[in-house]
Structure 1
Amino acid sequence: MAPDHRDASAASPAAASSSRTVLIWDWPVRLFHWLTVALVAAAYVTVRLNWIDWHVRIGEALLVLVVFRLLWGLLGSQTARFTSFVAAPAAALRHLRAVARREPDMQAGHNPAGGWMVLLLLALLAAETLTGLYVYNDVADEGPLSEVVPAVVSNTITALHSILWDALAVAIALHVCAVALYAFVWGQNLVRPMLDGHKSLPAHVREPRRAPLWLAIVLLAVAAGGVTLLASVL
């Protein structure tokens, strides 16, 4: 099914007046979201306390989650797929204008603006964890690349790891501010659906298709195996 990024104003008032509760976020998406929140917080605490071994394990777990989310974005449930929420920048601007006009929320899944934030956060998490694996292996002299990468490249990767952490912190702050803005200014609660998976939508909006749970388990195992191999290389 092709993604529908039309403005909320495209639907008739009569259609919008009748609503029903539908499941828009499956267990894999919700677990990924909240585990990522917990692990990012744990990564900050462990690096501040200089618990490097724990920090590295947390970084590896985060990378497993990111790889899983990328795979789930290709093969998973409808609302998790990138094809359902990655829109053109113009569509994101149209969405923000519609929200500012306080038009009804009829988006099943990430809205066009939120979709870009998802991509940004995933990119920053992937880059931060990958550079972190290299930095740890370079310091511990464990990874094969630590012996062949020139010192200038190694130093650049180490500096990039710190810069990416700051960029990730800024992106997370923007994300939290946006969620608060939707809730307190425009009356759209984006947190509750990420907790219980459900959202009230107009009756004419189809319930998103869900992928089987066994597929999520298989993809998580693939992600864990891939990260384990990658950690031994970096």
Structure 2
Amino acid sequence: MRLTHWSLVLLVPALWLTAEKGFLSVHRTLGEVVVGLLLFRIYWGFAGSETARFASFVKGPGAVVAYLKGLGSKTAGHAVGHNAAGGWSILLMLLAIGVQVSLGLVAQDKDGLTVSPLTHLVPYAASEAAREWHERVFFAIVAVVSLHVAAIVYYAFAKRENLVRPMISGWKLVSGPVAPPAAAPAWRALLGAALAAGLTWWVALGAPGVPAP
């Protein structure tokens, strides 16, 4: 999960830069890498380690409200995994990236010289609209990332909790004794990586076997 996280940290600005500079073939390749990472993260959200599973950090509205009310307390306990609000921010981030790559997979550039892997599966007008929305959704991703960074800064200064270190080392200090979260076996990660890579490769080839309209 940490590898997926930091890969996306590097890929998002790289995708912006390649689009701005017109390196569309590189942009397309990097986008396909993001597809693979996103597929693996979704798989890992159901089959991965305890703290990576959606069921462990996606809480109901009551838990989120209670957590937000306690934000001002410096003595509040630290969550082992994602906290109640952070869990929803993760889902929002994945949703924004998912929408962005979905649009990118069917979009084409303004002159029509560079097309995406699945452009042939949608009408021309839909591909044009996807390109326009692909550009707009990026700003939504910037907004979500900005909130994410703001939360990290707030926790560092207001709550004296370093959220970055655990995402690098995989270890986190907590205020009291807790049971260590259950880790998923390595074979499950390898299976997920193989499935994500295979599906991404199929998409990159243009989804052979899917009839065009």
Q: 1:145: Cα distance to partner?
A: 5.1
The correspondence of residues 42-191 of structure 1 with structure 2, limited to 5 A, is 42-136=14-108, 140=114, 143=117, 146=120, 149-191=122-164
Verify the 8 A CA contact 2:51 2:57 in the aligned structure 1: yes
Offset, 1:143: 5.0
Query: 4+ runs of 1 displaced by more than 6 Å?
Result: none
Call closer, same or farther: CA 1:99–1:165 in 2, change over 3 Å.
same
Give the match's secondary structure for 1:201.
coil
Counterpart secondary structure, 1:205: coil
Counterpart-to-counterpart distance in 1, 2:7 and 2:173: 25
**Which structure 1 residue ranges, 5 or more long, are not aligned?**
1-28
**Partner secondary structure for residue 107 of structure 2:** helix
Say whether the 8 Å CA contact 1:95–1:113 is kept in structure 2.
yes
SS in 1 for 2:46: helix
Moved more, 31-40 or 134-143: 134-143
Partners of 1:200 and 1:183 lie apart in 2 by: 14
* 1:72–1:80 CA contact under 8 A, matched in 2: yes
Q: CA deviation at 1:123?
A: 0.7
- Distance of 1:222 and 1:198 partners within structure 2: 28
Give the distance between the partners of 1:145 and 1:162, measured in 2 at CA: 16
**In structure 1, which of residues 35, 38, 51 is the aligned counterpart of residue 7 of structure 2?**
35
How far off its partner does 1:128 sit? 0.8
Distance 1:208 1:114 in 2: 18
Q: Give the TM-score normalised by the residue count of structure 1.
A: 0.81
Task: Please say if residues 68 and 219 of structure 1, whose CA atoms lie closer than 8 Å, have aligned partners that are also in contact.
Answer: yes
Q: Which has the higher contact order (CA 8 A, sep 6+)?
A: 1
| Residues 56, 136 of structure 1: 8 Å contact kept | no
- Whether the 8 Å contact between 2:107 and 2:116 is mirrored in structure 1 is no
Structure with more strand by fraction: 1
> What's the CA shift for 1:156?
1.9
> Within 1, Cα distance between the matches of 2:15 and 2:123?
28
CA distance in 1, matches of 2:138, 2:116: 23
Contact 1:124 1:167 in 2 (8 A): yes
Shift of 1:136: 4.1
Tell me, which stretches of 5 or more residues in structure 2 are unaligned?
Answer: none
- Structure 2 CA distance for aligned equivalents of residues 208 and 144 of structure 1: 40
What is the Cα deviation at residue 47 of structure 1?
A: 1.2
Q: State the Cα distance separating 1:144 from its structure 2 match.
A: 6.2
Report the Cα distance in structure 1 between the residues aligned to 2:135 and 2:182, rounded to whole angstroms: 39
What TM-score, normalized by structure 2, do the two folds share? 0.88
